[in-house]
Structure 1
Amino acid sequence: MQAMLCTRSVCLRRMAQGDWAAYMAYWRFVNNPQVTTDRLIEGWSRQTATVVGGRHVLAIQDTSEVKFQTRQGCRRGLGKVGKGNARGVLLHAMIAVDADSGACLGLTGGKVWTRRGKVKTPHDERELANKESARWVTTAEQGCEVLAAARMITVINDREGEFFAHWALTPGDNVHLLTRAMHDHALADGGTLYQAVERVRFCDKAVIDLPQRMDRHGRQAHLSLRFGTVVLKRPARPGVKELPEGVKVSFVEVVELHPPKGAEPVHWLLLTTHSIANAADAWRIVSWYKQRWIIEQLFRSLKNQGLRIEDSQLESAEALIKLVTIATKAACIVIQLVQARNGGEQLSVKCAFTPEEIEALAAINKTMKGRTELQKNPHRPHTLQWAAWIIAKLGGWTGYASHRPPGPITFHNGMARFQIIVAARAIENV
Structure 2
Amino acid sequence: MVAHASVCLRQLSNGERSQEVRFNRLLGNDRVTVERLIEGWSEQTAPASAGRHVLAIQDTSEINFATTAERRRGLGEIGKGSGRGLLVHAMVAVDADSGSCLGLVAGRIWTRPGRVTVPHAERALSDKESERWVSTGEQARTVLAAAARVTIVGDRESDFYAFWVTLPRPNLDLIGRVMHDRCVADGRLLSAAGKRFAWAGTRRVELPARAPNRPARSAEVIVRFGPVALRRPKGPHHRHLPESVALTLVEVVEPSPPENTAPLHWRLLTTHTVDDAAAAWRIVDWYRQRWTIEQLFRLMKKQGLRLEDSQIETAERLLKLAAIATKAAAVTLQLRQARDGTRVEPASTAFTADEAVVLDALDAEYHGKTALQKNPHPPRSLAWAAWIIARLGGWDGYPSSKPPGPITFSHGLERFRTIAEGWLLRDKHVPPRNVCMP
Q: Which of the five TM-score ranges fits, normalised by the shorter chain?
A: over 0.9
2:63 matched to 1:66?
yes
How far residue 144 of structure 1 moved from its aligned partner, in angstroms, is: 1.3
2:339 matched to 1:379?
no
The aligned amino acid for 1:348 is P
CA 1:132 to 1:220, structure 2 compared with 1: closer, same or farther past 3 Å?
same
Per-residue CA deviations over 1:389-423 (Å, capped at 9, x if unaligned) read 11122233342333433343432332122212222
| 8 Å Cα contact 2:337-2:343 kept in structure 1 | no
The aligned amino acid for 2:271 is T
Which range moved further: 68-77 or 369-378?
Answer: 369-378
Aligned to 2:246: 248
Query: What secondary structure does 1:226 align onto?
Result: strand
Which among 347, 350, 363 is matched to residue 349 of structure 1? 347
**Cα separation, 1, equivalents of 2:158 and 2:404:** 34
**Cα separation, 2, equivalents of 1:407 and 1:202:** 43
Q: Give % identity.
A: 52
* TM-score, normalising length: structure 2: 0.94
**Cα separation, 2, equivalents of 1:218 and 1:30:** 39
Which among 393, 396, 405 is matched to residue 394 of structure 2? 396
Per-residue CA deviations over 1:1-27 (Å, capped at 9, x if unaligned) read xxx123221111221122222211111
The aligned amino acid for 1:50 is P
Aligned to 1:50: 47
CA 1:162 to 1:98, structure 2 compared with 1: closer, same or farther past 3 Å?
same
| 8 Å Cα contact 1:109-1:142 kept in structure 2 | yes
The aligned amino acid for 1:179 is G
The aligned amino acid for 1:61 is Q
Report the RMSD for the aligned CA atoms in angstroms: 1.6
Query: What secondary structure does 1:160 align onto?
Result: helix
Aligned to 1:77: 74
**Cα separation, 2, equivalents of 1:264 and 1:393:** 44
The aligned amino acid for 1:80 is E
Query: What secondary structure does 1:100 align onto?
Result: coil
Which among 10, 18, 29 is matched to residue 13 of structure 1? 10
Aligned to 1:146: 143
The aligned amino acid for 2:155 is D
| 8 Å Cα contact 2:106-2:140 kept in structure 1 | yes
User: 5+ residue gaps in structure 2?
Assistant: 429-438
Aligned to 2:160: 163
Per-residue CA deviations over 1:49-99 (Å, capped at 9, x if unaligned) read 112122111000000011111112110000111121111110000000111
Per-residue CA deviations over 1:169-198 (Å, capped at 9, x if unaligned) read 111111111011000111111111011112
**Cα separation, 2, equivalents of 1:199 and 1:427:** 68
| 8 Å Cα contact 1:61-1:94 kept in structure 2 | yes
Runs of 4+ in 1 over 4 A off after TM superposition: 427-430
User: 5+ residue gaps in structure 1?
Assistant: none
| 8 Å Cα contact 1:221-1:256 kept in structure 2 | yes
Question: Number of matched residues?
Answer: 427
| 8 Å Cα contact 1:6-1:420 kept in structure 2 | no
Higher-Rg member (1/2)? 2
Aligned to 1:333: 331
**Cα separation, 1, equivalents of 2:393 and 2:298:** 19
Per-residue CA deviations over 1:255-303 (Å, capped at 9, x if unaligned) read 1112233444221111101111110110000010010000011111111
How far residue 329 of structure 1 moved from its aligned partner, in angstroms, is: 0.6
How far residue 428 of structure 1 moved from its aligned partner, in angstroms, is: 4.4
Per-residue CA deviations over 1:96-115 (Å, capped at 9, x if unaligned) read 01111111111110000001
Which range moved further: 107-116 or 370-379?
Answer: 370-379
What does residue range 203-222 of structure 1 map to in structure 2 within 5 Å? Answer: 203-215=200-212, 216-222=214-220
Query: What secondary structure does 2:138 align onto?
Result: helix
Query: What secondary structure does 2:199 align onto?
Result: coil
Per-residue CA deviations over 1:327-357 (Å, capped at 9, x if unaligned) read 1111101111111112234221112111221
How far residue 429 of structure 1 moved from its aligned partner, in angstroms, is: 7.8
Per-residue CA deviations over 1:148-173 (Å, capped at 9, x if unaligned) read 11111100001011110100111111
* TM-score, normalising length: structure 1: 0.95
Which range moved further: 24-33 or 239-248?
Answer: 24-33
